[in-house]
């Protein structure tokens, strides 16, 4: 295990502008982490019912100021807990003055509940959504997918963590309960009065890193193991996470749930839309230690700190990381091969897949239900240095190779979003197994998707 074990080694080529000392608002580690409390559902026979109202809300993110966000039920970074075999019903009420389209990222969701922009809710509308939760445990997230508006809506706050658990996972001796913590990481740009500054092209100015909505917080932990579920809800920021002075931690899961086996690592990349699950054993450091989680790829002139773990007390620890976690299914042999070239067109300033911007009225590909396909995703922006990624909706996939080489152990699990750094290429194998209909695939650099880098597939029988 070298420095980059468990992550793809290549650094994304990011073009952030230097921002001098305005780099990161405020000093780090002055506010405590807010551990997300789950939204309480109405527990009915056989399913859980929620009402999620999307509306503007004034919340305190930076000390001493208030920020107007677009929220679910008035909260920043809310959490929903779901169980396999127990459907979640959501009545979604849109009380904003912009459209909203609810998408469960990573969910195996019937077409009409998947957030396709043709189903978006206009201001004032409400509709019932149903998530079947008939898939393996994984860290999913809920976010907007409205037409040419989602990048801004997500930036302004419309992102919730959705933890799906199952019996298999519950039987493993991994850290549970208060020692299983979701961390939603993102960036933002704030005006002096606390207002969010939004600019579709302004990713290089978003120098404030928020964890569960708080700027570079500290988190008081016990000297024992914690399971941390990292979700990157940024529009475009890539994190390369390191702990302390390059301490070792254990990578146990990714987008599609648990890895086949734990992977000891010292650095982990987390691209927009991706999830990474790790176990950190704070007993190794002892009470009194403070460990900074930092980003090894900050923009130029920017501070690297993301948050700090303060080990403040002893605790008993019955948890363990088993040597095998969850095997990855064999998807069979691919019967279809496709190629997707992701590129920016400087003339039109649009982001394209195979030379075309998204068109809701065009079907780009028609995969067959149950038939495995190999997709080669090529980043055609090597010269411009623009990183991209690929996220097909519905079923998770496996990474076959990255620039022709087998994936690192940390990329060997089921993924639903794959990083494709500038000039690189990745081959994935995907098989759609449950639902037919119209779905999207796109770059998860959200402004790229909003500027056209999205295609439409129709899954057919
Ligand atoms: Cu998280 Cu279609 O996206
Ligand atoms: Cu992109």
Query: Using CA atoms, how far apart are residues 367 and 231, in angstroms rounded to an integer?
Result: 29
Other residues' Cβ atoms within 10 Å of the Cβ of residue 245: 8
Query: Does residue 7 belong to any structural domain of this protein?
Result: no
Distance 444 CA to ligand 1 centre (A): 7
Query: Does residue 3 belong to any structural domain of this protein?
Result: no
Atom of ligand 1 nearest to the CA of 105: 1
CB of 145 closer than 6 A to ligand 1? yes
Q: What percent of the chain has pLDDT over 90?
A: 93
Nearest CA to ligand 1 atom 1: 105
Atom of ligand 1 nearest to the CA of 417: 1
> Within this chain, do residues 84 and 158 fall inside the same structural domain, yes or no?
yes
What 3-state DSSP class applies to 269? strand
Atom of ligand 1 nearest to the CA of 273: 1
> Within this chain, do residues 162 and 232 fall inside the same structural domain, yes or no?
no
Contacts of residue 406, defined as CB under 8 A and 6 or more positions apart, other chains included, come to 400
The encoded tokens of residue 167 equal: 């019996």
Query: Does residue 15 belong to any structural domain of this protein?
Result: no
Write the pLDDT tens digit of every residue in 411-422: 999 999 999 999
CB of 448 closer than 6 A to ligand 1? no
Where in the sequence is the domain holding 92, given as residue range(s)?
42-171
CB of 273 closer than 6 A to ligand 1? yes
> Within this chain, do residues 92 and 123 fall inside the same structural domain, yes or no?
yes
Write the pLDDT tens digit of every residue in 40-81: 999 888 999 999 999 999 999 999 999 999 999 999 989 999
The encoded tokens of residue 128 equal: 């019932």
Nearest CA to ligand 1 atom 3: 105
> Within this chain, do residues 286 and 374 fall inside the same structural domain, yes or no?
no
Write the pLDDT tens digit of every residue in 240-299: 999 999 999 999 999 999 999 999 999 999 999 999 999 999 999 999 999 999 999 999
* Residue 172 DSSP class: S
Give pLDDT, residue 21. Answer: 41
> Within this chain, do residues 364 and 416 fall inside the same structural domain, yes or no?
yes
Task: With a cut of 60, say whether residue 373 has pLDDT above it.
Answer: yes
pTM equals: 0.95
- Of 3-12, 253-262, 418-427, the range with the lowest mean pLDDT is 3-12
Atom of ligand 1 nearest to the CA of 143: 1
> Within this chain, do residues 290 and 197 fall inside the same structural domain, yes or no?
yes
Query: Alpha carbon of 360 to those of 118, 271, 457: distances in Å?
Result: 8, 26, 10
CB of 393 closer than 6 A to ligand 1? yes
Query: Does residue 319 belong to any structural domain of this protein?
Result: no
CB of 229 closer than 6 A to ligand 1? no
Instruction: Using alpha carbons, select from 383, 380, 392, 391 the residue that is nearest to residue 351.
Output: 380
Distance 254 CA to ligand 1 centre (A): 16
CA of 341, nearest ligand number: 2
Atom of ligand 1 nearest to the CA of 115: 2
Residue 330: pLDDT band with limits 50, 70, 90: very high
The sign one gets for the Cα dihedral 157, 138, 329, 10 is positive
> Within this chain, do residues 191 and 109 fall inside the same structural domain, yes or no?
no
CB of 116 closer than 6 A to ligand 1? no
CA of 445, nearest ligand number: 2
Out of 151, 171, 191, pick the residue that ends a domain: 171
Burial group, residue 355, by CB count within 10 angstroms (0-12, 13-18, 19+) = exposed
Out of 171, 197, 224, pick the residue that ends a domain: 171
CB of 12 closer than 6 A to ligand 1? no
CA of 146, nearest ligand number: 1
Task: With a cut of 90, say whether residue 446 has pLDDT above it.
Answer: yes
Task: With a cut of 80, say whether residue 224 has pLDDT above it.
Answer: yes
Distance 445 CA to ligand 2 centre (A): 5
> Within this chain, do residues 261 and 342 fall inside the same structural domain, yes or no?
no
Distance 393 CA to ligand 1 centre (A): 7
Distance 119 CA to ligand 1 centre (A): 15
Q: Scanning the structure block, which residue is given the tokens 């010269």?
A: 383
CA of 377, nearest ligand number: 2
Which residues have C-beta under 5 Å from ligand 2, the single-atom ion? 388, 443, 445, 448, 453
Q: Do the Cβ atoms of 311 and 287 come closer than 8 Å?
A: yes
The encoded tokens of residue 432 equal: 């759609």
Atom of ligand 1 nearest to the CA of 454: 2
Residue 301: pLDDT band with limits 50, 70, 90: confident
Q: Do the Cβ atoms of 113 and 129 come closer than 8 Å?
A: yes
Residue 12: pLDDT band with limits 50, 70, 90: low
SS3 content of the chain, % helix, strand, coil (to 5): 10, 45, 50
Out of 140, 171, 202, pick the residue that ends a domain: 171
Distance 237 CA to ligand 2 centre (A): 12
Task: Provide the mean pLDDT of the chain.
Answer: 94
Contacts of residue 224, defined as CB under 8 A and 6 or more positions apart, other chains included, come to 175, 179, 281, 282, 283, 315, 316, 317, 319
> Within this chain, do residues 301 and 180 fall inside the same structural domain, yes or no?
yes
Average pLDDT over every residue of 357-375: 97
Query: Using CA atoms, how far apart are residues 182 and 139, in angstroms rounded to an integer?
Result: 9
Of the two residues 162 and 23, the one the predictor is more confident about is 162
For residue 131, the domain's CATH number is 2.60.40.420
Write the pLDDT tens digit of every residue in 118-164: 999 999 999 999 999 999 999 999 999 999 999 999 999 999 999 99
Other residues' Cβ atoms within 10 Å of the Cβ of residue 416: 26
Query: Does residue 11 belong to any structural domain of this protein?
Result: no
Query: Does residue 31 belong to any structural domain of this protein?
Result: no
> Within this chain, do residues 310 and 179 fall inside the same structural domain, yes or no?
yes
Query: Using CA atoms, how far apart are residues 75 and 59, in angstroms rounded to an integer?
Result: 8
CB of 407 closer than 6 A to ligand 1? no
Rg (CA), the chain: 21
Distance 392 CA to ligand 1 centre (A): 8
Task: With a cut of 90, say whether residue 334 has pLDDT above it.
Answer: yes
Task: With a cut of 70, say whether residue 24 has pLDDT above it.
Answer: no
CB of 105 closer than 6 A to ligand 1? yes
CB of 272 closer than 6 A to ligand 1? no
Query: Does residue 47 belong to any structural domain of this protein?
Result: yes
The encoded tokens of residue 451 equal: 């500027």
Number of structural domains found in the chain: 3
Query: Alpha carbon of 178 to those of 7, 224, 225: distances in Å?
Result: 27, 12, 11
The H or E element containing residue 59 is strand 47-59
Q: Do the Cβ atoms of 326 and 259 come closer than 8 Å?
A: yes
CA of 389, nearest ligand number: 2
> Within this chain, do residues 310 and 365 fall inside the same structural domain, yes or no?
no
Atom of ligand 1 nearest to the CA of 449: 2
> Within this chain, do residues 191 and 152 fall inside the same structural domain, yes or no?
no
Pairing mode, strands 336-345 and 373-379: parallel
Give pLDDT, residue 25. Answer: 60
Query: Does residue 135 belong to any structural domain of this protein?
Result: yes
Task: With a cut of 90, say whether residue 13 has pLDDT above it.
Answer: no
CB of 143 closer than 6 A to ligand 1? yes
Query: Using CA atoms, how far apart are residues 348 and 149, in angstroms rounded to an integer?
Result: 19
Distance 111 CA to ligand 2 centre (A): 24
């Amino acid at each position: 295990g070298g420095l980059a074990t468990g992550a793809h080694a290549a650094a994304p080529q990011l073009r952030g502008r230097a921002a001098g000392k305005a780099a990161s608002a405020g000093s780090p580690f002055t506010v405590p982490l807010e551990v997300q409390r789950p939204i309480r559902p109405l527990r009915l026979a056989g399913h859980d019912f929620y009402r999620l109202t999307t509306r503007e809300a004034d919340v305190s993110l930076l000390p001493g100021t208030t920020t107007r966000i677009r929220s679910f039920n008035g909260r920043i970074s809310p959490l929903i807990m779901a169980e396999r075999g127990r459907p979640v019903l959501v009545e979604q009420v849109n009380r904003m003055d912009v459209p909203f389209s609810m998408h469960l990222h990573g969910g195996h969701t019937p077409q009409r509940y998947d957030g396709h922009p043709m189903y978006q809710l206009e201001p004032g509308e409400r509709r019932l959504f149903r998530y079947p939760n008939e898939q393996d445990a994984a860290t999913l997230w809920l976010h907007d997918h409205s037409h040419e508006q989602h990048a801004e809506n997500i930036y302004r706050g419309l992102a919730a963590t959705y933890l799906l658990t199952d019996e298999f996972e519950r039987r493993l001796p991994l850290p549970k309960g208060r020692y299983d913590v979701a961390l939603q990481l993102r960036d933002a740009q704030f005006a002096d009065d606390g207002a969010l500054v939004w600019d579709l092209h302004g990713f290089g100015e978003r120098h404030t890193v928020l964890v569960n909505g708080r700027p570079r917080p500290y988190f008081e932990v016990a000297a024992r193991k914690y399971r941390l579920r990292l979700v990157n809800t940024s529009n475009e920021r890539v994190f390369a996470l390191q702990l302390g002075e390059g301490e070792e931690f254990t990578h146990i899961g990714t987008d599609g749930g648990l890895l086949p086996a734990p992977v000891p690592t010292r650095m982990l990349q987390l691209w927009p839309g991706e999830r990474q699950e790790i176990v950190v054993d704070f007993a190794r450091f002892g009470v009194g230690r403070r460990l900074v989680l930092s980003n090894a790829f900050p923009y130029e002139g920017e501070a690297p700190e993301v948050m700090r773990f303060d080990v403040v007390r002893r605790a008993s620890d019955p948890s363990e990381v088993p040597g095998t976690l969850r095997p990855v299914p064999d998807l069979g042999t691919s019967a279809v091969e496709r190629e997707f070239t992701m590129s920016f067109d400087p003339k039109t300033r649009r982001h394209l897949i195979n030379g075309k911007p998204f068109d809701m009225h065009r079907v780009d590909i028609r995969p067959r239900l149950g038939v495995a396909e190999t997709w080669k995703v090529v980043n055609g922006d090597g010269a411009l240095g623009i990183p991209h990624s690929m996220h097909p909706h519905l079923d998770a996939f496996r990474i076959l190779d990255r620039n022709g080489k087998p994936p690192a152990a940390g990329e060997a699990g089921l993924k639903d979003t794959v990083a494709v750094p500038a000039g690189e290429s990745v081959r994935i194998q995907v098989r759609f197994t449950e639902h037919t209909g119209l779905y999207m695939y796109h770059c998860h650099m959200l402004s790229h998707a909003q500027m056209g880098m999205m295609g439409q597939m129709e899954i057919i029988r």
